[in-house]
């Protein structure tokens, strides 16, 4: 009975942490989007929007990879003392949380921020082109949606086929900042 209570407490603690992390990341990304986009060249604004889309796609790929990676391969690498393998094992052992963070927190926030960035870009394009704002907004949002959905569809299959390799590569990057 006590074990179940502790597990529930851990789950609630994780949920509170992830909500707070999502809030903080959302504020940072939105701040960047809302302060930078209106004040920069339209090309830079588009590049920032594409960066948000790319980050969302990249983290979606990592989230799928961590959920589908073969833990035994990672343990084997860790036993051979391959740099970053311990981090990969730890990520895999926490796959539910890592996948949730990558897909739901970073991925969803990037989707929301790229959409709001797209709205600012559409307004800027309307002013520059002196064209119907509805048409430009629909086109910009359509392009953002297509790039996001198409990019995620493209990387999901790759992430499933090469999950252990992708997780290991991600772990080697994290290993620079996070020592186990």
Question: Does residue 141 carry a pLDDT above 60?
Answer: yes
Q: Write out the DSSP string of 59-73.
A: HHHHHHHHHH--HHH
Q: How far apart are the first and last CA of the chain?
A: 32
Task: Give the pLDDT confidence score for residue 10 in this predicted structure.
Answer: 63
Question: Does residue 9 carry a pLDDT above 70?
Answer: no
Q: What are the boundaries of each domain within the chain?
A: 2-177
Task: Give the pLDDT confidence score for residue 34 in this predicted structure.
Answer: 76
CB environment 93-124: b (16+ within 10 A), e (fewer): eebeebbbbbbebbbebbbbbbbbbbbbbbbb
pTM summary value: 0.84
Please provide the average confidence, as pLDDT, over all residues in the chain. Answer: 89
Angstrom distance (rounded) from CA 124 to CA 129 = 9
Structure tokens at 82: 């391959």
Q: Write out the DSSP string of the chain.
A: -HHHHHHHHHHHHHHHHHHHHHHHHHHHHHHHHHHHGGGS-HHHHHHHHHHHHHHHHHHHHHHHHHHH--HHHHHHHHHTT-TTHHHHHHHHHTHHHHHIIIIIIIIHHHHHHHHHHHHHHHHHHHHHHT--HHHHHHHHHHHHHHHHHHHHHHHHHHHHHTHHHHHHHHHHHHHHH---
Residues of the chain with pLDDT > 90, as a percent, come to: 62
Task: Give the pLDDT confidence score for residue 180 in this predicted structure.
Answer: 53
């Amino acid at each position: 009975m006590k074990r179940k209570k502790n597990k529930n407490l851990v789950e609630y603690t994780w949920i509170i942490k992830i909500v707070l992390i999502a809030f903080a990341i959302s504020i940072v990304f939105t701040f960047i989007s809302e302060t930078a986009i209106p004040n920069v060249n339209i090309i830079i604004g588009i590049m920032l929007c594409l960066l948000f889309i790319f980050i969302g796609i990249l983290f979606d790929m990592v989230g799928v990879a961590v959920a589908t990676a073969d833990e035994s391969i990672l343990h084997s690498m860790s036993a051979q003392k391959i740099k970053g393998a311990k981090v990969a094992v730890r990520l895999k052992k926490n796959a539910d949380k890592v996948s949730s963070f990558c897909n739901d927190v970073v991925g969803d926030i990037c989707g929301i921020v790229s959409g709001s960035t797209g709205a600012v870009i559409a307004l800027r394009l309307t002013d520059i082109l002196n064209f119907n704002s509805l048409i430009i907004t629909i086109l910009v949002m359509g392009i953002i949606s297509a790039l996001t959905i198409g990019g995620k569809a493209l990387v999901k299959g790759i992430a499933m086929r090469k999950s252990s390799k992708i997780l290991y590569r991600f772990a080697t990057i994290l290993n620079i900042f996070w020592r186990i």
